Structure 1
Amino acid sequence: MKFKFYLSLVSSVAVGIFVAIGVLSVGSFVVDYIKTQSYAIYDSASDLGSGKEYEIEEKKVEELSKTDEGVPVRDKYFLYEESQDFPKLTSQAYLVADLDNGQIIKQRNRDEIYSIASLTKLLTALVSLETLDQNDQTTVSYNAVNTYGKQGGLYSGQKIMIFDLLYPLLLESSNDAGEALAEHGKRSVFMENMNGKAKSIGLFDSYFDDPSGLSQYNVSTADDLFKLLRYIYKKQRDILEITKLREYENVENKWFNNSRFRSDGRYYGGKNGYTDEALYTLVSVFDLPLVDGAKYLESNDRRIAIILLKGTDTEGDTREIISWLLDNIYYQ
């Protein structure tokens, strides 16, 4: 009996060690991927699987990453003399910046890597637009609709246009829609393109393990997400346009925006997310009247991006930041 007991004990310990090594190995793979791998990007659906590689567009990355260097005085922000302290937030990392000129107003842990949950879907939408024919019709698979989560209302066998899948993806954060898009683009190739696109626009501290954000190994930084947001803003603004809609419907479905800011007239778009690992994550853009004195470019508004990672109340954090900006920041 003692022999059987000790044999069972040794077996249990061995299994535990094996599982731990497996988990650590996956995490190590993500870190190594971020640090060392060379990346490729396929620029159209016709290049998928062809082996055609494209080097990182360094000039484009540099242009999208500019902050206050070379920014005209009238484009720069200033603090009022009696400025209030920046609010204490629940988010472990944040970045507040001007979307047009790239100037960072406030940040904390902008280069720290965190799980990002459904913020992943911004890149999923981008890669879909740039590699898939949006007029194609796809059939939603059983596998796609059985992805965790019920948002989107898709069903197995449903025929739907590729572009229409962007609405449940971005408005209701449908994981099913993300999987359907990836499957249409051959999932493994689609994921290669997501990681390739990320690196081609300078997201060097990011890795994407799935198209929905369910995996804890979908990771990024506030700084990388700002680069992604600026690229979308300059190159694929339809994504932001979709995220600020209140609702959208086609022949079979009607999707509603799950953002708490959808009724805010200043809201220009964004994406939220949650997983147990990532906690609450949020990227949002607001048009805020921060220009001091005369109108600038026929508008008193500045387009401000707010990026929050690993928070417990990202909506409250966002409102606190907006209030602070309106009370303490001005442009001239």
Structure 2
Amino acid sequence: MKPGKSITIMLIIVSTVFISRATVNRKEYQEPLNVFIANSSINALIRKETSEAQNYVITYTSEDQKIKTERKESQQGGDSTSIEKRGTPEPSIAKPITSNPELGAEIAYIRGVNDRFPSYKRGATKRWPIASITKLMTALIAEEYIPKETKIVFTEHSIETEGTAGSFVVGDVFLKEDVISAMLVTSSNDAAVALARNLGKEKFMQFMNEKATTLGLRNTTFADASGLSYLNQSTAEDLFIFMKYLHLIHPEILEITRLKEVKIKELETGTVHEISNINALVTRSDYVGGKTGYTDEARQNLLSLFRDRDSNYTIVIILGSANRFDETVRLYNWHENR
């Protein structure tokens, strides 16, 4: 064989190998932009985007199945927030961690909404009583199953619930939306119980647990609407999924949680209740929303969503803490500055 032909053949072989490897690499890294990372056993794809995000329910199935998106009838009316307008940013790559934050919480977890993995986690799969974080699911079920103009009556049973937040009395009548606001802003247990009793406690609890299953919250259970029961339990991984769902599909719920105060009107007497938010983070401009929680067993809990100046969203979860606000801010600052 002549030297010239030998060189040509070698060049063809090398080029073929290079193209083949490039094709493989391209396939390796061409991942869908709308990947919804749930937990180690769930990897669901949101196939359909809609300009009426609140009119869809996302059902997460096992890893080898596609996500199912089912149309549901909107009970809220008006325009809904568009996922398509917000867009779905490409998953970001976490920077290398140089040192761990100093935290005393039993469970700590922080992860960008579009990140593949948390930048920090402690006890991510440990079940823990979530206390009033439960009220986020209560609000979701109330929005989906109770018509918007429904009047909620506070019965003696509602008022007997532990706590006096909201200053409700027996016989008070409020619109559903105002009761939800009181429940989320001042964490009123009376409001949560009144909402649940509107549908019937057993049915309401069934809806809450079915929704958890639908969303793929495999280690989450609900026993009441207020969060007072120790049996309202979840994990950091499940709470990440749930918060991301609220952020994408029901942002109106998170909008309520960041209000500094609300005014609600009792329909029979016209009395106006002025209610202040108990969440210290609502004064921050980068705070998108979240929920506090506390019981003796759970200690201090806090589920939060932040947005930085580049519009990157980050979810922070602190459970079993002695200072939930301080530790949430400390973990978020560590995440941003690492």
- Shift of residue 55, structure 1, vs aligned partner: 11
Q: Deviations over 1:277-306 (max 9, x none)?
A: 1111100111124xxxxxxxxxx2311110
Q: Which residue of 85, 97, 117 corresponds with 2:111?
A: 97
Q: Deviations over 1:28-67 (max 9, x none)?
A: xxxxxxxxxxxxxxxxxxxxxxxxxx995424489xxxxx
Residues 325 and 55 of structure 1: CA distance in aligned 2, closer, same or farther (over 3 Å): closer
User: Quick one: which amino acid aligns to residue 253 of structure 1?
Assistant: H
- 1:139 — aligned with what? 153
- 1:182 — aligned with what? 196
Residues 55 and 276 of structure 1: CA distance in aligned 2, closer, same or farther (over 3 Å): same
- 2:219 — aligned with what? 205
Structure 2 unaligned blocks of 5 or more: 1-56, 70-88, 266-271
Identity %: 30
How far apart in 1 are the matches of 2:68 and 2:120? 22
- 2:283 — aligned with what? 263
Structure number with greater Rg is 2
Q: CA RMSD in A?
A: 2.2
The 5-angstrom pairing of residues 126-165 of structure 1 reads 126-165=140-179
- Shift of residue 323, structure 1, vs aligned partner: 2.1
User: Quick one: which amino acid aligns to residue 322 of structure 2?
Assistant: T
How far apart in 1 are the matches of 2:262 and 2:58? 38
Matched, 1:218 2:228: no
Q: Between Structure 1 and Structure 2, how many residues are aligned?
A: 254
- Shift of residue 101, structure 1, vs aligned partner: 5.0
Matched, 1:318 2:328: yes
SS in 2 for 1:77: coil
- 2:36 — aligned with what? none
How far apart in 2 are the matches of 1:72 and 1:105? 17
User: Quick one: which amino acid aligns to residue 165 of structure 2?
Assistant: Q
Residues 61 and 219 of structure 1: CA distance in aligned 2, closer, same or farther (over 3 Å): farther
The 5-angstrom pairing of residues 1-332 of structure 1 reads 57-58=60-61, 59-60=66-67, 72=90, 75-79=92-96, 84-101=98-115, 103-251=117-265, 252-289=272-309, 300-328=310-338
How far apart in 2 are the matches of 1:93 and 1:326? 19
- Shift of residue 253, structure 1, vs aligned partner: 1.3
Kept in 1: contact 2:209–2:222 (CA 8 A): yes
Structure 1 unaligned blocks of 5 or more: 1-53, 63-70, 290-299
TM-score, reference length from structure 2? 0.71
How far apart in 1 are the matches of 2:116 and 2:288? 16
How far apart in 2 are the matches of 1:60 and 1:313? 38
